[in-house]
Structure 1
Amino acid sequence: MAWTFDNNFPIYLQIMNRIKLQIISKQLKSGEKLPPVRELAAEAGVNPNTIQRALSDLEKEGFVYSQRTSGRFVTDNHDLILQSRQKLSQEELKNFVSTMEKFGYEAAELPSVVEQYLKGV
């Protein structure tokens, strides 16, 4: 089944973000081998060159590394993964706080709103 993409955002960046999120959320483990480019392209429903570009950029950022004849693997750099998780978390929290302020909440009210939500989950 092909992945769904937003037409307003380059596909290779969406693929990068998806793989990065899988690494940050530990769906892809450190040292785990990634599927071959053609397999990922078929799964995503995109041209292999698009996958290649996404993986090359992920390699430049340090999220994956390649071994000449063995393929690409998820980084063992736990600091990079932790920093990325924290950065993404901060962005999500910023969006959350901004949205809640638009709803009329004060910043001081947010901890109790979150606590009530978590109790209900």
Structure 2
Amino acid sequence: MNPEALYIEPASPDPIYRQIVGQIARLIAAGQCPPGTRLPSVREVAAAHAINPMTVSKAYSLLEEQGFLERLRGKGMVVMAQAAVRQPSAERLQALTPLLTELVRQARQLDLNFQQVTEALRPLMEKKE
């Protein structure tokens, strides 16, 4: 996994360590980080995103506590075998429900219809980051 695979939004109300935890957990749930995938070091992530290394360390520790990662001496953090079972798409979509609910609420406040929202969403989904 490349440290640039993470997207950090400093202005987000969600703390940076939680952004990291959420993104890595989603990558594992989607099967994009198979068992044994080595994560970039704390220093690599911190340097790539100009953030405090303690923030990255906190995120990795939480992922380790939650059973997503394991620390291997001399190799760093890797995805645990049992954590890397790809979740069904229904479960992965369910994780988006709060965000989609907020999107719908804001679209209604802006008096945008379904077609307008999906037309705006399509290029964003097709864009490769």
TM-score for both structures, normalised by structure 2: 0.60
Identity %: 26
1:39 is aligned to 2:29: no
> Higher helix fraction: Structure 1 or Structure 2?
1
Residue type of the partner of 1:88?
A: A
Runs of 5+ consecutive residues of structure 1 not aligned to the other structure: none
Matches within 5 A, 1:1-121: 4-6=9-11, 8-24=13-29, 28-31=32-35, 32-76=37-81, 77=83, 78=85, 85-104=92-111, 110=114, 113=115, 117=119
1:40-97, CA deviations, whole angstroms, 9 ceiling, x for partnerless residues? 2221222322211111012222332222332212344325686763333212221222
How many residue pairs get matched? 113
Runs of 5+ consecutive residues of structure 2 not aligned to the other structure: 124-129
TM-score for both structures, normalised by structure 1: 0.63
Q: Secondary structure at the match of 1:6?
A: coil
Larger Rg: 1 or 2? 1
Root mean square deviation of aligned Cα: 3.6
Distance 1:48 1:21, change over 3 A: same
Provide the rounded CA distance (Å) in 1 between the counterparts of 2:119 and 2:18. Answer: 33
